Structure 1
């Protein structure tokens, strides 16, 4: 299901997609509906906000808390850490589901993207971008770029 925050499809509107039916029913019809929603969102907006994705709130809250603590540490101390929790495996499972949905949205077999990417090691990057109250023209920022991976899943914190 696609829910738009604004009927006029302005720049501020963003598609919101729920995976609840796909994850609970696991039917061909639920897969097709999810694929149609993703296809619409990517064709018209280039991205979407995912809800009801199956990753428990406690797992998301813990990784955000741990990352916030991590980014406050000195660089020397950061280098010794390794992420060991349920977040990575939960996101890997979500990526597997999204590959099925995207493959179907492209009119391919469910396992099309999985076959193309099965040897690629999934990677996780954690970035910290502090809140910026007022943006100026010469403000340093992340330059426009193309991700080197076929799919990017981002977890948004409460930074505005």
Structure 2
């Protein structure tokens, strides 16, 4: 089985506190992994490093054969990573449809009606019971989590990190 994700000897310090001390692990194609540990064990820090939100003090991150540049979310996203965080990255004043395509639309304009219809079709095909026209600010926490998952699916992520 080929290695899909590899983190090698990741170190992260916050001042005198060492959050990660030479952490290494691999995920092979088709595998599903869960990191378990107490609060403050470094799980979220490690996932933020993988996604490029936090820069490690040392170590190497690979997706397949490609080395990811530390601290580059753009590179991580381009490589097929998505991150569903415990604190949402949604804009409450925008609709579900607009949040799904945020940063994805090309060109100067779009038809809001066509966007909502297209995103409603996408939502329905993925068996999520959400109204694409609904403002994100009106959603429950569980519904917002579903929108974050839909964003990852819409962007055709190869790997989804859940925190």
Q: TM-score, normalised by structure 2?
A: 0.26
Larger RCO, structures 1/2 (Cα 8 Å, 6+ apart) = 2
Higher strand share: 2
* TM-score calculated relative to the size of structure 1: 0.26
More helix by share: 1
